[in-house]
Structure 1
């Protein structure tokens, strides 16, 4: 194999990044649902012909890490000659047999890319669809006991053959959602993105030659591995273990071993898979470990299949981190973030120069559905919430940002929420509940209040860290908690962290509070000026400033 000159290599690598970003832009400009075009709960990427990530676009890192696994599953299930042809598009979402990794709402579209008759890569995207059937609007039920109750399962199905949509598959999709117009709009946005990306890759391969293009991709993979190993050079060697009690009383455990050859994450000693919807597939656990590995090594460097070659993940089939069919996985995301956070907690005391204290560590999935009183149209609000991140040595934690799984995503603006959903947004502010104090304070969570505008509205939510707060580091205080309060029109107040299809009526208020991150260092070491700024900026109220820091403002 001849060596690719560095200039051509850089051009091809950067071109792939630009193509993935163009795919991302195509989706957000054409999708129907705010969860996609406002929140950006989606991701785009390009893989090589074997399904290894070659370039990742913008969006949720935890989603982008799914795409390679889905493409590999498609390749395995369509291995006969003629199964995969130019112009085809595949659709999948099943975490047990379709490479979906997450839950049924997260739908993946993947398109093979051929140049000169040879398969040279895949374009792919994943996005959260508002509704894919199941027992409740939004398809997520905290009461689900198997995946059949959570909606339509798609296992690497061919959606478009040689450029032409397969009508029967399209009909099945429309018939299995409560929001067919939104589904169809989001579907075609994803199709447009993979088609556009494929066209750009073919242009790139034709410009530089297919062989040179493939050599450049392979070289980029090797570089990813070298960057990861180099970042581990000065990490401590040894075996580190941690365990943490959870909101439901279970104890989670992890052992991480760092060697000259890489990192081994062992999650085998954990509880059996749940009878409810809080399970995680093995591929999902690998995603969580990959995210933690990236944080420990070089979070700013480009990511590709080679990046994770030094990582080994050990799981035990039938456990919550390696659930087997027909386990329900609607609220998989809380176990995903539990695994990610547990690995970071295990390593943070040994890598405090790289890792912060604990963050709010929950997707805080909030789902509100009903009929819009102005239009008579059914709606489903799907909203992961923002919260506080942990402090680190020399720096306060970030306030009101998404979890590490989400990356470059945003909360839905109040104006969009009120226009599209049957709700008023009465409040959006930082959460000033006590927690996360330290020499450097944890970032603040948020306090959001939705006022219901119509009877027969339903609330579903799935929050963790509602009892066990984010952890402090080096003497910093633990953070606060994630939870929802429903304030009835009568004034009665109810508190929830997990609930399914809770009936709400007009003028009931849904009050969301997300946690502050953990603090870093002894609170007594925080400067007076920093405390005064906290009060002025709404991070802390004056009473707490005096009680915790002894500062009058």
Structure 2
């Protein structure tokens, strides 16, 4: 029997937590609360997290906090149910309850939990998303009883390990990463920092002075939250505040359950791939997320995911944290991040030893891969599930850009002799996935951070010895579709007053697109790092000419692998980064030609792509309507192949829509799937893709900003489009590797 206790396996609490009797929980709540008082307390609780996050940003001064928003603040009940999280990085907020539950279960007896304590942990097997994300949790007591918790998670500048910044590209196990720290009481009941533990904590870092600033900022955030909660208790009474907390949870649970009840029962699955577990590895690994909805309950599982491998592995906490942002955006985005009620209706079933729930001592320090991949798969599965709801106001969307964070780290010594190191934060400006009735926003942010920002170029040049040559949106990078995915971006820089910059990469999504399209939409662009060596960039700059692409420079291009370290960049070298864009929604041949023209004239889409992907013929700044209609007819005919087609029409009564392209009909011989455009039958739901007109294209053929996967992996990578055998409409599509067969992405309950 697998024991999920946070030691050899990740911590997964099951049932009520055993808490030592020395810790008495505050349970009493008023039976009624008037609406006005409730709204005042509810809004105050929400604002506590917002303001605590701002304190962390100001005290730390960290660009990671200011621009990447790689932090979050939370308030939890006495037994670690979420009240509210802050509006920052949701991935970091939705791991804290696991750590607090572990503290209640394993620290309540020894060393105990007392007023004034603060616990610190960065252990992924307990509850952190990875070792560079430090959780600090403070119990708040009222009348000697544990009333609630205030906590925060913050991505630290450097926690040690073999790679500056912590994203080791070649760690084979956790002993080759920064040390994980299970929860320790770093502030005692008297409110005093344990200097011995703090010195031990800071000693690991390359930048201990910055790490201590981050540490102090989290203490300040906890202290502020505690003071604000106690001021509410003093103003309204403990019973009234606790009643408001209970109502927040109960209202959230009811709202979430009502939304689930509007969805048919069934199981929705999404399969994806990531490449390269270690440097030199050219293999591809499978990830899968399955969502089962039954009545008022939703269950997530990992069945179909490859075993843990190299630096691709993440913990249970990280897997769950990847799922939560799309769950929030799609099903409870109007609850002000009051997640506890929704989580009462949700269950997460890990697969021990898989890439998404690694067993000790796996390396788990690269969550930019696994967390983002879990989020992408969850986004696709949940959007398919919600496509069955005939409500145009219900958001569904293709996978957003920055679908795997392109970790490209740089470090070295600047002109003043000081150590520097960072990862690029520009990819926070991800292109959003297309919606069911709108294009994705170009460089619009991320699903997991509603406040996402990219740093100013001037800021990056001030803090680090680099000079940007360009940073811009990348036309045509968003996936094609009836509604196109949001474009991503690209940037390049050269060293400035530094003799050498040391780079490493720890990413995926270079060979295989991870920003999946939806209902026939194409995937968005992939990640890419290039280094052009021995260029004439200095001479051009002296002439007053700023290069706007690598093609303008002489020199030799190096294609950088997904996992590699110690790539040295010298003053005449130029480093370029492209990040993943949003997926498209719907058949590209159904996009309004005028919308395609508008994209071309606004430099959002290359003119060649208008014809290649959308079948739109442009003459000058106008659409040739006759030539466009003719070209689209030719492209649809090519989908069906030669020969006359006489597919059968579906018979029966409408049961439900699977999405905008497919419906289920019920006839005398049972249920069958049909094209919503022409009524052509595709037979039973199971295996319908095998009866569609299937077109398999190499992935670089469906997006001009996807490169040949053979540069990175050995297996061929395809985009398989499933089209109606009657009208040739693109019904759906999937990215697939090698000889992997089509899979059923939906099963409806009987």
Q: Report the alpha carbon displacement of residue 463 of structure 1 after superposing the two structures with TM.
A: 2.9
Contact 2:131-2:365 at 8 Å conserved across structures = yes
8 Å contact from structure 1 (residues 90, 160) kept in 2:
yes
What secondary structure sits across from 2:95 in the alignment? helix
C-alpha contact (below 8 Å) 2:164/2:421 kept by paired residues: yes
Encode CA deviations 1:23-42: one digit per residue, 9 max, x unaligned: 01111112132111232211
- 1:546 offset after TM fit, Å? 4.6
Distance in 2 between the 1:231 and 1:460 partners? 44
The offset of 1:89, in angstroms, is 1.6
1:466 aligned partner: 510
The CA distance in 2 between the partners of 1:139 and 1:255, in whole Å, is: 30
Task: Tell me the distance in 1 between the aligned counterparts of 2:324 and 2:222.
Answer: 25
Aligned to 2:221: 193
Alignment of 1:196-345 (within 5 A): 196-247=224-275, 248-274=283-309, 276-302=310-336, 303-345=338-380
Deviation at 1:412, TM superposition (A): 1.7
2:52 corresponds in structure 1 to 23
Hey, what's the Cα distance between the residues in 2 that align with 1:140 and 1:163? Answer: 33
Structure 2, unaligned stretches of length 5 or more?
Answer: 1-29, 276-282, 388-393, 536-554, 622-750
Give the aligned CA root-mean-square deviation in angstroms: 2.0
Aligned equivalent of 1:94, options 99, 123, 147: 123
In the alignment, structure 1 residue 147 sits paired with structure 2 residue 147: no
Partner of 1:368: 410
Aligned to 2:626: none
Counterpart CA distance in 2 for 1:87 and 1:306 is: 28
Check the 8 A contact 1:77/1:156 in 2, yes or no: no
Residue 81 of structure 1 deviates from its aligned partner by 7.3
Q: Secondary structure at the match of 1:8?
A: helix
Say whether the 8 Å CA contact 1:290–1:308 is kept in structure 2. no
- Counterpart contact for 1:531–1:551, Cα < 8 Å: no
TM-score by length of 2: 0.70
3-state SS, counterpart of residue 221 of structure 1: helix
CA distance in 2, matches of 1:382, 1:74: 32
Contact 2:478/2:486, CA 8 A, preserved across alignment: no
Does the 8 Å CA contact 2:533/2:572 hold for their aligned counterparts?
A: yes
Corresponding residue for 1:479? 524
Deviations 1:242-283 (A, max 9, x none): 333433422223332111131111213321111x22211112
Shift of 1:166: 0.9
Bigger mean CA offset, 423-432 vs 523-532 = 523-532
Instruction: Report the counterpart of residue 494 of structure 1 in structure 2.
Output: 558
Rounded Cα–Cα distance in structure 2 between residues aligned with 1:478 and 1:137: 32
Q: Secondary structure at the match of 1:220?
A: helix
The answer to whether the 8 A contact 2:368-2:507 is kept is no
TM-fit CA distance, 1:547: 4.2
What SS does the corresponding residue of 2:202 show, helix, strand or coil? helix
Verify the 8 A CA contact 2:479 2:523 in the aligned structure 1.
yes
Bigger relative contact order, structure 1 or 2 (CA pairs below 8 A, ≥6 apart)? 1
* 8 A Cα contact 1:23 1:44, kept in partner: yes
Larger Rg: 2
Structure 1 unmatched ranges of 5 or more: none
Of the structure 1 ranges 348-357 and 310-319, higher mean CA displacement relative to structure 2 is found in 348-357
Q: TM-score normalized by structure 1? A: 0.94
Q: Which residue of structure 2 aligns with residue 442 of structure 1?
A: 485
User: Does structure 2 retain, via aligned residues, the 8 Å contact 1:268–1:314?
Assistant: no
Match of 2:618 in 1: 551
SS at match of 2:475: coil
Alpha-carbon spacing, 1:350–1:89, altered in 2? closer, same or farther (3 Å): closer
Deviations 1:425-474 (A, max 9, x none): 21110112555122211100101112123234211223332222222223
1:527-552 alpha-carbon deviations (Å, 9 max, x no partner):
34322332343311233335443224
Contact 1:269 1:316 in 2 (8 A): no
Look up the SS of the partner of 1:232 in the other structure.
helix
Give per-residue Cα distances to partners, 1:179-236, cap 9 Å, x unaligned: 1121111111111111111111111111111122222212211111111101112212
> What corresponds to 1:160 in structure 2?
187
Contact kept in structure 1, 2:470 and 2:493, CA below 8 Å: yes
Residue 65 of structure 2 is matched in structure 1 by: 36
Counterpart check, 1:382 vs 2:423: yes
What CA deviation, in whole Å up to 9, does each residue of 1:59-99 have, x standing for no partner?
Answer: 101111122222222222321277222222221101113x2
The SS at the match of 2:86 is strand
User: Which of 8, 17, 20 lines up with 2:37 in the alignment?
Assistant: 8
> How many residues are matched?
549
2: CA distance, partners of 1:285 / 1:245: 15
User: Following TM superposition, by how much is the alpha carbon of 1:350 offset from its aligned partner in structure 2, in angstroms?
Assistant: 4.1
1:522 corresponding residue in structure 2 = 587
Q: What SS is found at the alignment partner of 1:126? A: strand
- Using the TM superposition, name which of 401-410 and 183-192 deviates more: 401-410
2-side partners of 1:308 and 1:241: how far apart? 20
